[in-house]
Structure 1
Amino acid sequence: MQNKATAVWTGGLKDGKGEMNTRSAALRSAAYTFKTRFEGAEGTNPEELIAAAHAGCFSMALSKILGEAGTAPERIQTEATVTLEQQEGGFAITKVHLNTSAKVPGCDDAGFQDAAGKAKAGCPVSKLLKAEITMDAQLES
């Protein structure tokens, strides 16, 4: 299985601009600039998209593991925070923090924490990233 996305950048680093598109058209001409990436300006950037991908992947992995344990979730919400830092030799994604909460009837906190740890380790996006991945997981009542 393969998926594709494209990015086109025109101009210099600080005065240029780019746009990203996905094959599915979930992103269409999503604009990004130096300011949206490094200065907090309104708009998207590659790290935000990595955060969305990681949150989505982790939530699906957690759903699978909980379902296999006989405690199918009603709802899982995950927020991923990606940290981009300047290091020697350039910028790097140094860590990702996953903050998830879920409503899982019949699941106790120990079972939920175990499932969340397995999901973090098994999520394909987690496996891709070389960054430190931390997590807080709360089971909703």
Structure 2
Amino acid sequence: MSVTSESTTVWNGTLMEGSGTVSLDSSKAAAFPVDWKARAEGERNTTNPEELLGAAHSACFSMALSHALAGAGFTAESIQTTAAVTFEAGRGVLGSHLLVSARVPGLDEEAFARFAEEAKSGCPISQALAGIPITIEAVLA
């Protein structure tokens, strides 16, 4: 079964002085203000496409890691993933860095590192981001 998820952005004004709202249409879970200053200057009062991309990447990776662990007979008590997506005006998205901490009873660091690498390459969002470097730091808590 395939699922199509939708989000909508309404933008008003120029790139530099305008602003918009990104709505998560399928889930109706949230709407976020977005503008150029958040993207290019790091303003913290609105979101940007890279933050939203990081949200997608961290969620997808966490799900992929949970699935891989379960397939090998391990149940994660918790997985916390931060995806730091770097953007530079004029160059675009430069990379995504995954910082992962998990609590998985019965699993050692070496095996966890293997599962994390497999999840990084198997995650559908990682695959969609194949044109940028994806790095990872994974530790057992």
Q: TM-score, normalised by structure 1?
A: 0.92
What is the distance in 2 between the residues matched to 1:6 and 1:13? 17
**Is 2:60 aligned against 1:46?**
no
Cα shift readout 1:80-127 (whole Å, capped 9, x = no counterpart): 1001124xxx33111100000100001111110110011000001000
Tell me the SS of whatever aligns to 1:20: strand
What is the distance in 2 between the residues matched to 1:83 and 1:124? 19
**Which of 77, 87, 90 lines up with 1:74 in the alignment?**
77
Aligned to 1:8: 10
* Structure 1 ranges of 4+ moved more than 3 A: none
Alignment of 1:123-134 (within 5 A): 123-129=123-129, 130-134=131-135
Residue 17 of structure 1 aligns to which amino acid in structure 2? S
Aligned to 2:88: 85
What is the distance in 1 between the residues matched to 2:13 and 2:46? 18
Tell me the SS of whatever aligns to 1:117: helix
Structure 2's unaligned 5+ residue stretches are none
What is the distance in 1 between the residues matched to 2:103 and 2:87? 31
Identity level (%): 46
- Distance apart, 1:27 and its partner CA: 2.1
Whether contact under 8 Å (2:39, 2:87) holds in the other structure is no
Residue 38 of structure 2 aligns to which amino acid in structure 1? T
Tell me the SS of whatever aligns to 2:134: strand
How many residue pairs match? The answer is: 136
What is the distance in 1 between the residues matched to 2:23 and 2:91? 23
Residue 58 of structure 1 aligns to which amino acid in structure 2? F
Structure 1's unaligned 5+ residue stretches are none
What is the distance in 2 between the residues matched to 1:33 and 1:109? 41
Tell me the SS of whatever aligns to 1:118: helix
